[in-house]
Amino acid sequence: MSAYEPRRRGVHPVLLAELLSWIRAFGPYRWASNRFRDWGVGGRTAVIGLPYLWLLLFFLIPFIIVLKISVSDIRLGMPPYEPLLHWVEHQVVTLRVNLGNYAFLFEDPLYRNAYLNSIFTAGASTILCLLIGYPMAYGIARTSPSWRNLLLMMVMLPFWTSFLLRVYAWIGILKNNGLINNVLMAMGVIDEPIVMLQTDFAVYVGIVYSYLPFMVLPLYANLEKMDITLLEAAADLGCHPVKAFLTITLPLSVPGIVAGSMLVFIPAVGEFVIPALLGGPDSLMIGRVLWEEFFHNRDWPVASAVAIAMLVLLVGPIMILQYNQAKQGGAGGVHR
């Protein structure tokens, strides 16, 4: 042993245990338990109430603020909208509710086309993610357990990089002097660059690449729990593998398909970064229109009405997702 031995950094286990016990006895944990007990709130109620408090602070209150702005009148200058309530000597004089902002969305074809194009783009991207992600999830679920963690890590690896940087990387890949065009021209496949950037093709590529893991992971979770003995029994009875897939695997994987599709479709409808960076001027999506109304036109009431209408548009898919998750959790799936 050398004469000099460096000291190990860290906290001694006994000291750490004493510190934790002191915190439980006199620290915030004990204080919070006593306060909840004094208020007549049990531990289970407190645990359930925290998510509702989170939703109240970061969803319901902002939603009410945006809803209030959406029925306000526009004002030139600061602030960019009229207040709903007009007070005089601590009394409400008038209450002005302007529903014309919502009527304007139906009158102007810009917003109608933006909504329809957003739904179409999100739907097509969801189908592409399903066609690509289902074989990936099926392959991961059917591979040996020693390889599954590595393959799942490769699926989630892009999340370790900033979303904005990944989108910017596609600009370098798809531009006229980018990687794809340079490789194709070096191989003699094309004589001049193919225009891919600032097109709808680039938008689909960006959305499918960015949201593909949201399709793969729910499908893998569903397919991995599936009872393989059902397929073995079908094979013993002479069922063709394709027919066994269509009659056994595909129906049992419907909850995973629905969950993955909703996880892709819902954020893709309001996508702003990908159409703004990869799409052209004709790539009209509602997220881009919303940004233009807020920051360029400074029409906050109309922009808030666009946001509320988009939220109402997404209520249906969100309810489908919640119903599917509740049904899947109640059924428990098919386990090995």
Phi-psi region of 161 (alpha: psi -120 to 50; beta: other; left: phi over 0): beta
CA atoms within 13 A on the CB side of 4: 1
pLDDT of residue 281: 78
pLDDT at 319: 79
Q: Quick one: tokens of 303?
A: 């922009």
Helix (H) or strand (E) holding 245: none
pLDDT at 80: 73
| 243 neighbors 315 (Cβ within 8 angstroms) | no
- Kindly compute the dihedral angle of the four CA atoms of residues 53, 54, 59, 64, in this order, to the nearest 10 degrees: 30
Closest listed residue to residue 170, CA positions, set 263, 273, 282: 273
pLDDT at 168: 92
Residue 138 tokens read as 């099926």
CA angle 21, 45, 53 (to 5 degrees): 100
CB crowding 67-99: b at 16 or more within 10 Å, else e? ebbbbbeeeeeeebbeebeeeeeeeeeeeeebe
Which tokens sit at 219? 């499908």
CA distances to 131, 185, 201, 214, 233 from 120, rounded to whole Å, are: 17, 33, 14, 19, 41
Question: What is d(CA 301, CA 101) in angstroms, rounded to the nearest whole number?
Answer: 7
Distance between alpha carbon 167 and the CA centroid of its chain, in Å? 16
Which structural domains are found in the chain, ordered by start?
13-95 (no CATH), 100-331 (1.10.3720.10)
Q: Output the six-digit token pair for 108.
A: 């102007």
Dmax over CA atoms of the chain, in Å, equals 87
List Cα–Cα distances, 125 to 11, 190, 200, in angstroms: 51, 27, 11
Q: Residue 32: count other Cβ atoms within 10 Å of its Cβ.
A: 12
The predicted pLDDT at position 1 comes to 46
132 burial type by CB count under 10 A (0-12 exposed, 13-18 middle, 19+ buried) = middle
Tokens 């007549």 appear where? 40
User: Over its length of 336 residues, how does the chain's per-residue pLDDT go in tens digits?
Assistant: 444 444 444 445 666 666 566 555 555 555 455 555 555 555 566 667 777 788 888 888 888 988 988 888 876 666 677 777 766 666 656 677 888 888 888 888 888 899 899 999 999 999 999 999 999 999 999 898 888 889 999 999 888 888 999 999 999 999 989 899 999 999 988 889 999 999 999 999 999 999 999 999 999 999 998 888 888 888 888 888 889 899 999 999 998 998 899 899 989 998 989 999 998 877 788 888 888 888 888 888 888 898 898 888 888 777 776 776 677 666 554 444
218, two tokens: 């729910």
Q: How far apart are CA 130 and CA 156, in angstroms?
A: 17
